[in-house]
Amino acid sequence: MTPTLAPALLRAALAATERGWPVFPLRPGDKRPAGHPERNCPRSGRCGGGHRTPEQRATLDAESINVCWQAAPYNVGIATGPANLVVVDLDIPKDDTDIAPPEWADMADGLDVFAALCERAGARLPTETYTVRTRRGGQHLYFTAPAEKRLRSTADVLGWKVDTRAWGGYVVAVGSVVGGAPYEIIHDAPPAPLPAWLGDLLTPQPAPAPMPLAELSTRMRNATSYSTAALRGELEKVQSAREGGRNRAVYFAAYALARMIRNGDLTEAAVTGELMSAAQSIGLSAGECRTAIRSGLTRGGALEASAA
Ligand SMILES: [Zn+2]
């Protein structure tokens, strides 16, 4: 690492905070957060009260930033959620084999897809906003987050090569250098408010209402009362699972109920349907539910491993 890079990165970190964007260190020359991931957490030092994520560690405090960036030439991460930002990440294909799916046929990259989305919404491409060129030639369009909702980062929600970074995510700040290539400002305007149509597209649809548990026994006439009670018990566990343990709760429920499917007391369709409904009602996505249920059923011997 060249000796001149460290002061430049310290300036980059402080410049972000001057715009009100909390920062945290990324590994030198890299876009991954510095420090340990949650699975390797020592539960001591700054994590003595439980693991602290980069989003929780991000700071505006000039003194701690000075100390941190004098220690090593860290790249700069901006925690988009606390920064009150929604950043639209327009990526480009990785190589010749990375081509648009049929839905976005003829589109060359994320910018093309985003332009098509704007056209569909009857809106202009919102270019009058703070814009960064990423090291591979993509673009980050910065917008201020709407006050009335807490948007989370998305991947593949808007379209091919169009992701967003908000709560739960971060962006690599201008001045950072990844693989020898810099992130640079290409339009130095203040971030514009996120267009309302875009905010609507990024708002998660409410999950279907959970099935009232009292209705279960009438819905499942063919099930024995013992298996219905077991199913009800597992659904209650899923519905009371705490954030961070929800996937696991669904997995274990499926695992526990697999035995009843093997014995013919419950059908796979009934178990999957009820667990999907319960799991989505506590905020898991359909994809997450399906994966957890299939893993649990497979592990419990109710599905062939090859089908998982
Ligand atoms: Zn930790």
CA of 165 to the centre of ligand 1 (A): 22
**Average pLDDT score over the chain:** 88
**Per-residue model confidence as pLDDT tens digits over 41-54:** 999 988 998 999 99
CA of 154 to the centre of ligand 1 (A): 24
Residue 11 predicted with pLDDT over 70? yes
Examine the domain organization and report whether 234 and 194 are in the same domain: no
Mean pLDDT in residue range 5-33: 95
Report the alpha-carbon distance of residue 283 to residue 64 in Å, rounded. Answer: 36
Give CA 91 to chain center in angstroms. Answer: 16
* Cβ(210)–Cβ(278) below 8 Å: yes
CA of 48 to the centre of ligand 1 (A): 8
**Per-residue model confidence as pLDDT tens digits over 289-303:** 888 898 889 888 887
**HEC readout, 143-184:** EECCCCCCCECEEEEEECCEEEECECCEEECCCCEECCEECE
CA of 241 to the centre of ligand 1 (A): 22
CA of 71 to the centre of ligand 1 (A): 19
* Cβ(140)–Cβ(77) below 8 Å: no
The pLDDT value given to residue 222: 57
**Per-residue model confidence as pLDDT tens digits over 59-80:** 999 999 999 999 999 999 999 9
Mean pLDDT in residue range 108-113: 96
CA of 25 to the centre of ligand 1 (A): 14
Q: Hey, what amino acid is at 127?
A: T
Residue 190 predicted with pLDDT over 80? yes
Identify the domain boundary among 183, 202, 221: 202
Report the alpha-carbon distance of residue 270 to residue 231 in Å, rounded. Answer: 10
% of the chain beyond a pLDDT of 90 = 56
The pLDDT value given to residue 307: 38
Examine the domain organization and report whether 180 and 31 are in the same domain: yes
CA of 42 to the centre of ligand 1 (A): 6
CA of 216 to the centre of ligand 1 (A): 42
CA of 54 to the centre of ligand 1 (A): 10
- Asked whether residue 208 is assigned to any structural domain, the reply reads no
- Asked whether residue 92 is assigned to any structural domain, the reply reads yes
Banded pLDDT at 239 (limits 50, 70, 90): confident
CA of 215 to the centre of ligand 1 (A): 43
Record the tokens describing residue 292, joined without a space: 């957890």
Report the alpha-carbon distance of residue 182 to residue 148 in Å, rounded. Answer: 34
Mean pLDDT in residue range 101-120: 92
- Asked whether residue 207 is assigned to any structural domain, the reply reads no
- Asked whether residue 175 is assigned to any structural domain, the reply reads yes
CA atoms within 13 A on the CB side of 286: 6
Domain range for 92 is 5-202
Examine the domain organization and report whether 51 and 184 are in the same domain: yes
Record the tokens describing residue 115, joined without a space: 């332009």
The pLDDT value given to residue 305: 55
- Find all residues with CB under 8 Å of 289, minimum gap 6, and list them: 250, 275, 276, 279, 280
CA of 49 to the centre of ligand 1 (A): 9
The pLDDT value given to residue 263: 84
Examine the domain organization and report whether 119 and 70 are in the same domain: yes
Least confident of 92-106, 150-164, 222-236, 244-258: 222-236
Which ranges of 33-158 would DSSP assign to H, the alpha helix?
A: 54-57, 62-71, 110-120
The pLDDT value given to residue 38: 87
CA of 114 to the centre of ligand 1 (A): 37
Record the tokens describing residue 222, joined without a space: 């063919």
Report the alpha-carbon distance of residue 308 to residue 295 in Å, rounded. Answer: 7
Examine the domain organization and report whether 162 and 94 are in the same domain: yes
Examine the domain organization and report whether 59 and 177 are in the same domain: yes
